[in-house]
Homo-oligomer: A and B are copies of this chain.
Amino acid sequence: MTHSDDNPLWQMVKKLTAHAPILEEDRDALLALPVTLARYRAGSYLVREGDIPSQCGVIVDGFAYRSKLTHIGGRQIVSVHIPGEIIDLQHLFLDVADHNIQTLTNCEVASVSRSALRELARERASIGHAVLINVLVEGSILREWLLSIGRRTARERLAHLLCEFAVKLDMQGLAAGHRYELPMSQEQLADALGLTTVHVNRTLRVLIAEGLILRDHRFVSFPRWDDLKRVSGFQSRYLHLPTQISQQLAT
């Protein structure tokens, strides 16, 4: 009944129900939470390591990433989030943030109180369950990144990441024909891939020379999509895409 379609929390509901159904009454309870819509400019911190976060948000527009630092200052980006993704679930029940969350671009985020969402997740099984599955999928992606960084060459890594973005963005209707605007600088790509800026640049250049990537300005497209997947060993299973759709894109 609460069909206020402009409620930005619909994004969160959509994400949560992607893998598991939510009871109507639970959904309505979620939509009834007080929500704040905030804009951040590129590079803003949403959460800092060591913080006790008080909000949990979904990206309405823009991109964000999570990162960790070594004691020496090396930075590793551990995930990148696109519009429609919930960025704070891993801190829902852990007291103190173990990583940073920052915006990659200018960003619009719809947030609810962490404790309120926590209560919902605890009391309403269908919501708790949906949260769990979202977290499980994120874990799977983390494992694939670990494989990439641990065992793939720079070229494979970069190609793999570009494939991942293409598929994820396509799922959100943001990358028709696998063409999209790459939201990351080469320095950020480097931090996501465990490489240096210089080497990302050179690797990118190789892929372009091989005709595997086409770029104009910040946009990338892939004239030989199948070859790109082949050289990177990309298989979308680890993304655990909602089933029907995964049939079309999977291979």
Complex contacts, A150 vs chain B, CB 8 Å:
74, 76, 149, 191, 193-194
A90 to B132 alpha-carbon distance, docked (Å):
10
Size category of the binding interface on chain A: 35 or more
CB under 8 Å from chain B, chain A span 99-133: 99, 121-123, 125, 128-129, 131-133
A68 at interface by CB-CB < 8 Å? yes
Complex partner residue of A240 from B78, B98, B138, B237, CB under 8 angstroms: B98
By the criterion CB–CB under 8 Å, are A90 and B125 in contact? no
Q: Which of the candidate stretches A30-38, A139-147, A201-209 sits at the interface with the other chain?
A: A139-147
A191 to B147 alpha-carbon distance, docked (Å):
10
Contact A147:B78 (CB < 8 A) given known A129-B128, A132-B135: yes
* B-contact 0/1 string along A207-251, CB 8 Å cutoff: 000000000000000000000000001010110100000000000
* B-contact 0/1 string along A67-85, CB 8 Å cutoff: 0111110111010000000
Contact A146:B140 (CB < 8 A) given known A70-B152, A240-B94: no
By the criterion CB–CB under 8 Å, are A99 and B143 in contact? yes
**5 more CB-based (< 8 A) A-B contacts, given A94-B240, A149-B149:** A69-B147, A90-B140, A125-B128, A139-B139, A142-B143
By the criterion CB–CB under 8 Å, are B132 and A70 in contact? no
Closest to A123 in B: B125
Complex partner residue of A143 from B68, B156, B193, CB under 8 angstroms: B68
Q: Shortest CB–CB separation between residue A148 and chain B, in angstroms?
A: 8
Q: Shortest CB–CB separation between residue A108 and chain B, in angstroms?
A: 25
* B-contact 0/1 string along A46-85, CB 8 Å cutoff: 0000000000000000000010111110111010000000
21 contacts between A and B (CB under 8 A): A20-B93, A68-B147, A70-B152, A76-B150, A90-B140, A93-B129, A93-B132, A94-B137, A94-B140, A121-B129, A122-B125, A128-B128, A128-B132, A131-B132, A132-B132, A135-B136, A138-B139, A142-B143, A146-B146, A149-B150, A150-B194
A3 at interface by CB-CB < 8 Å? no
Contact A194:B151 (CB < 8 A) given known A68-B144, A131-B132, A146-B145: yes
